[in-house]
Structure formats: structure tokens, C-alpha cells
Amino acid sequence: MITALSDDTSRLRAAVDFVTGQDSESLLPLLLPGLDGPELRALVEQCHFAHAALLVFPSHPDALHATLAECGLFTDAPPQPSVVVRERLALRYGRAAVDLEVGILRPAVLGHDGRSRVIEVFALTVPPGSALEDIAVQERVRHDEAHVAFEIDDPGPLVLRGLRSCFTHHGAVPDGGGYNPHENGTVFHFAAPASSKAPYRRIELYAPGDHRDQLDSHLTEFRRGQPAETMLRMLTGAWTTQALSVYAQLRVADAMDIDTARDAVALAGTVGADPDSLTVLLRYLAMLGVVVEEGPGTFRLTALGALLRGDDPGSMRPLALMYGGPFYESFGALAYTVRTGQVAFEHLFGTNHFDHFAADPQLAELFDQSMAASRRMFDPLPTHPVLAAAAGRPQGATVVDIAGGNGELLGRILAAHPGLDAVLLERPHVVEAARRRLDATRCTFVAGDFADVPSGKDVYLLSRILHDWNDETCRQILRHCAAAMTADADLLIVERLLPTDNSPSLATAWDLRMRCNIGGRERSLAHYARLLTDAGLVLVGESRLPLDSHVLHARRAPRTADSAGRGADGGRAHIV
């Protein structure tokens, strides 16, 4: 731990002396005793000592620059918001993050080796008598945010993984981190090993750019030792859903720009919101990378936040409204589903979600839009090799999208394969919406349900349909498909697959959601194979898609004398 000096000026001077007197080659062995020559040389080649950091507590924003000047530190740059330190302080002291405006300044110093370094100064303004004084008192003693940092010169995935592995091999323990969208940088924090001889007990690896895939793995290791923090983050997950949903409801993203920051008060006037409350909402979303706070009360949209624009071609706004609206309400009754095995949505609203939405034209349109928005996430599907093979048939081919919604996915398939024709099978009101989207010269529209699957076509598509239903209804749907298919026709099924090894998967989360909100379920590959067999079909292959999804490729099983007489099973299920 650095020396327990109580005033910020003395602490800053000690940091300056340390940074100017160290370099990578001398500091790394102090932090990680046991580094041998080859390992040390490898680390020095991949990262360099960049700064020492500490948290100070000026009584007024203007007082910070005066304190820095006393220590020979000067910078003209305005403070940038610190996402990582603000979150850490909020969790440590049980405060709301929006009440902790932590800024970062980086005045430069010159090391003894001639290399430029910085003193990274985190600043939390604490006026006399402020309720934040207890944080200042404790942090000046504990120095929890004080650290030394090494910047990675070429932060590729292999380099990042290797550096993290080397640090943990020599006793450093993952200690948090985060992605800062304000400067597009990812930080990995470690607690120094007990044997460390350096005065700083925390180490930071700084990687320019967005490396949240690596960060997720790092934070998973960290949270194993922080159960209370992990539980708190999980318990507050509903806040994020509602924050995004409200942001979408108010169309705030439509009123913002990626290149130019806007004042929150002016934004509030545009979208019809309370200025103070909208500012708090935007600061919360800034922690998620949805917006960036460029200066006090001014915010800029990010590429992530632009996904909630209503006019964006890849807009996920309908999903935000659906997940934060009807499905959020029914998920609040999850206990009913877990206790009884029945569908919470039906218990809450008195009918299944298909009929509930159909009775309300606005909800029906929102549901269809949300389905179309989620279909855009399966980008590789239009060029899947099975579809490519169908498009290459000499006589051309026809794709039947069964319960294809408003034609979003089918339109993308037709655009990718000019030689294909199509049939869209849907409910009557949805067919009318699809007519406005799809080229009628290449697409035939059929209003009906699963019993109306047209016969004799080349490729049949069930995209995220079967997970809406129980096993018996799935068998009925698949039997209708089998009855319509010729011997050389292809059936493509897009679904998430439950893992067989208990590994983390979106399918596991969606399985809970489907049982609570829809009455369906996710299934394993073997489960789908059994359903196909029961329906007279056979699984002949599967390929991965993004977001833990797969394309299952099935064909009609060879007909036997017994199966030829059975035909399609009865029962006309509602199309979804």
C-alpha cells in the first residue's frame, strides 16, 4: 500500500516521485516476484509502464487544478468521466453511481528513462459538509483506487490472453475492470501478489479499443471471489431492461447524434421528459455504453445506442419495447410458472400471447416488428450453403417461409439469391403487412395456418417457430411439413440449442423466458432429432449461427408401407 498520507498534495507528490523513478524493466519484477529473464523480456516487449493513478477529493472543481499545480502537474484538458471508478465506488459504499461524478485528468511527467508518462488523477468533488466526506476519509487511508498501469502496445486476443495468464501465474488476482466508451479503452485490474515489493497493491493492464470479450472472462474470474457484488449486479438487472425500454419509448436515440453531443435539458424538451430525470437516465445508460457523456449534462449517441433508433435499418427498438412491456409484466409472475408449470402470461392476461396481441392492433404490430428485428440478428442465414444449393438448381427453386412474419427474413433471402422464388405463409393480417415489403413478382402470399403448408416446393423454412410450442404441437407442425415435402426437398429449422455440458448459453436463458411468457421451450439437438423422427423426417446436418443459434437441415425419411398410410396428423395449430 502506498504511504498513508492524508492530504491530496502529499499523495500526488509521492506518485510523481514514483512514476519518474521507475520503468517497465525495474517495476515488473517488484510487482511480480519470480519473473525470470525470458518472461520479463516478453512482458517488456508487449507492454510498457504508462502511469500511476490515485483518487483525490477536491473541495471544488477549480481546486483540483490548483492542487495539481502545487505538484508541478499541468493539463489544459477537461476531466473525462470515469465509468470504472464510479462503479467501483458505488458498489463499495452502497451509493447510486449517478451521484458520484468521478472525472479523470492525465497530466504528463517525464520518466528517468526519457519516456513520457502520466499521473492518472481520478477526482471526486467533495464540498465541505458533503455526504460524500466519509468516502474521502476512507479512500485516503485505504487507497483502493491507487494503481500502476501498463499499456499494451498491440492488444490482439492472443497477446491479451497471454498477458493475463502471465500475471495470474505469478500470483496476481483479477480485481475488476471495465470498458470506458468515453475513450474507447478496456482496463483489466489485478491485485498484486502478497509477495509484491512495490508500494502499489493494484495493477492495471490498459488495452486501447473495445476488448469486452476478453473482459468478460476476466470479470468472471474476479466475481468468483466477490459473491456479494455479483449478487447485487444480478439483482439490479431489471433496472437495465427498464432504462433501455424507457429510452426507446421516449425515442431519445432519434433525437441524438453520434457525431455531436446534445444538452440533456434540450433533449428533454424534444422528447417530453423531465430534464433532471432524463439526465440521470442518460448517465446510467452511459455506464452501459449506450451514450457517452462528453461534458457535464451533454451526451452523444454511440453505435450501440443507435440500435434503438426507430428509423435505423437494424433497429432493435421494437424488442426493447416488447421486453420492457408485456413480456416484462409477465416475467414478473415467473414464480407462478415455476410453482405450477403453467404459462405466467396466460395467468396474467387471461389468454395466450398470440391471441392477446391479435386483439390489440398496436400490440400485434409491435410483436411483428419485434420478430422482424430479431430476425436481422441471423445475418449468415441468407447465404447458408443449403439455400445456396437450392438457388443453384437448374430449374430454380422456391423457398416457403412458414410463419414468416412480415417478410423481413424472406426478403433478405430473396435479395441474397436472385434465382429464388418464395411463398410466405402467415396469418391474414400479417400477410397484408408482408405484401408491402416483398416483391409480389417473386413471392406468393398464403393466408392460413400450419395445415396450409403448400406442397411440392424446394426449401421449407421454420425460423424460431418450434420453440413456441410443446412437443405434441411441434410434431403436428413437422408432420404438415413432411406431408408437403418431396423426397429431395429441404427443411431448415432455425433455433437455439440447449447445451449438453451445462455451459453458459443464451438458449438456457430463453428456455426460462419461453416457459414463462410463451408456453414453449428450447431444446437440445437430440430432442429436435427425436421430434423430426416422430414426424417422418430425418436430421441430416446442422450449422452454427450467431447468438447460440443453429440451422438444422432435415429431409423426409424414406417412406415405408406403414408410414405411407398415416399422412399428416390432425389438429390445426395457430400460426405464430
More confident residue, 408 or 159: 159
DSSP H helical ranges for 514-565: 525-534, 561-564
Exposed / middle / buried, residue 255 (Cβ in 10 Å: 0-12, 13-18, 19+):
middle
How many Å apart are CA 164 and CA 35, to the nearest integer?
A: 14
For the CA atoms of 316, 319, 325, 326, what is the dihedral angle to 10 degrees?
160
Exposed / middle / buried, residue 146 (Cβ in 10 Å: 0-12, 13-18, 19+):
buried
Residues paired with residue 447 on neighbouring β-strands, in sequence order: 426
With bands split at pLDDT 50, 70 and 90, how would you rate the model's confidence at 181?
confident
Q: Name the strands in the sheet holding 490-496, side by side, starting at the edge strand that comes first in the sequence.
A: 443-447, 420-426, 397-402, 459-463, 490-496, 549-556, 537-545
Average pLDDT value for residue range 487-496: 93
Residue 381 has pLDDT above 70, yes or no: no
Residue 319 has pLDDT above 50, yes or no: yes
Rg (CA), the chain: 29
The pLDDT of residue 573: 38
Q: What angle do CA 45, 46, 48 make, to 5 degrees?
A: 85
Catalytic choice (65, 417, 467, 553): 467
Residue 417 has pLDDT above 90, yes or no: no
The pLDDT of residue 282: 95
**Residue carrying C-alpha cell 451521484:** 99
The pLDDT of residue 416: 80
Instruction: Report which listed range, 23-32, 88-97, 406-415, 556-565, is most confident.
Output: 23-32
Residue 575 has pLDDT above 60, yes or no: no
With bands split at pLDDT 50, 70 and 90, how would you rate the model's confidence at 144?
confident
At the topology level, CATH places domain 236-313 in Arc Repressor Mutant, subunit A (1.10.10)
Residue 187's SS3 state is: strand
More confident residue, 445 or 303: 445
Closest CA to 327 of 242, 218, 450, 212: 242
> Looking at the chain, how many residues does it have?
576
With bands split at pLDDT 50, 70 and 90, how would you rate the model's confidence at 386?
low
What is the reported pTM?
0.64
- Is 143 noted as a catalytic residue in this protein? no
Q: How far is CA 303 from CA 239, 281, 291, 424, 511, in A?
A: 21, 18, 9, 33, 29
Is there a shared CATH topology between the 8-232 domain and the 374-564 domain?
no
The pLDDT of residue 377: 55
**CATH architecture, range 374-564:** 3-Layer(aba) Sandwich (3.40)
Closest CA to 387 of 424, 407, 412: 412
Average pLDDT value for residue range 540-549: 84
Residue 506 has pLDDT above 80, yes or no: yes
Domain ranges of the chain: 8-232, 236-313, 326-373, 374-564
Q: How far is CA 229 from CA 45, 111, 124, in A?
A: 35, 37, 22
Average pLDDT value for residue range 435-439: 82
Average pLDDT value for residue range 280-293: 88
For the CA atoms of 262, 264, 266, 272, what is the dihedral angle to 10 degrees?
130
Average per-residue pLDDT for the chain: 87
CB atoms within 10 A of CB 27: 20
Closest CA to 144 of 75, 184, 90: 90
DSSP labels for 191-207?
Answer: EPPTT--SS--EEEEEE
Average pLDDT value for residue range 340-352: 93
The pLDDT of residue 380: 55
The pLDDT of residue 389: 63
Average pLDDT value for residue range 178-189: 86
Cell of 246: 424507457
How many Å apart are CA 386 and CA 420, to the nearest integer?
A: 13
Residue 565 has pLDDT above 60, yes or no: no
The pLDDT of residue 422: 92
| Diameter of the chain measured on Cα atoms | 95
Q: Name the strands in the sheet holding 291-295, side by side, starting at the edge strand that comes first in the sequence.
A: 262-263, 298-301, 291-295
Buried b (16+ CB within 10 A) or exposed e, 280-318: bbbbbbbbbbbbbbbeebbbbbbeebbbbbeeeeebbbb
Tens digits of residue pLDDT in 198-209 = 989 899 999 999
More confident residue, 381 or 64: 64
With bands split at pLDDT 50, 70 and 90, how would you rate the model's confidence at 365?
confident
Cell of 70: 502545487
| Least trusted range by pLDDT, from 39-48, 83-92, 162-171 | 83-92
DSSP labels for 278-318?
Answer: HHHHHHHHHHTTSEEEEETTEEEE-TTGGGG-TT-TT--HH
Q: How far is CA 368 from CA 329, 443, 460, in A?
A: 19, 19, 20
How many Å apart are CA 343 and CA 23, to the nearest integer?
A: 62
How many Å apart are CA 223 and CA 227, to the nearest integer?
A: 6
Percent of the chain at pLDDT above 70?
A: 92
The pLDDT of residue 392: 65
With bands split at pLDDT 50, 70 and 90, how would you rate the model's confidence at 379?
low
**Helix (H) / strand (E) containing 41:** helix 37-46
Cell of 420: 429464388
8-232 sits in which CATH class? Answer: alpha beta
Q: What angle do CA 544, 547, 553 make, to 5 degrees?
A: 30
| Least trusted range by pLDDT, from 7-16, 51-60, 89-98, 255-264 | 89-98
Residue 567 has pLDDT above 70, yes or no: no
Average pLDDT value for residue range 365-382: 68
Closest CA to 92 of 124, 50, 49, 45: 124
Cell of 522: 428450447
With bands split at pLDDT 50, 70 and 90, how would you rate the model's confidence at 390?
low
Residue 184 has pLDDT above 50, yes or no: yes
Average pLDDT value for residue range 161-176: 91
Tens digits of residue pLDDT in 259-286 = 899 999 999 999 999 999 999 999 999 8
- Is the separation of the CB atoms in 385 and 552 below 8 Å? no
- Is the separation of the CB atoms in 401 and 461 below 8 Å? yes
| Least trusted range by pLDDT, from 40-54, 140-154, 175-189, 341-355 | 175-189
Query: For the chain, how many helices (H) and strands (E)?
Result: 25, 19
Q: Which residues contact 501 (CB under 8 A, 6 or more apart)?
A: none
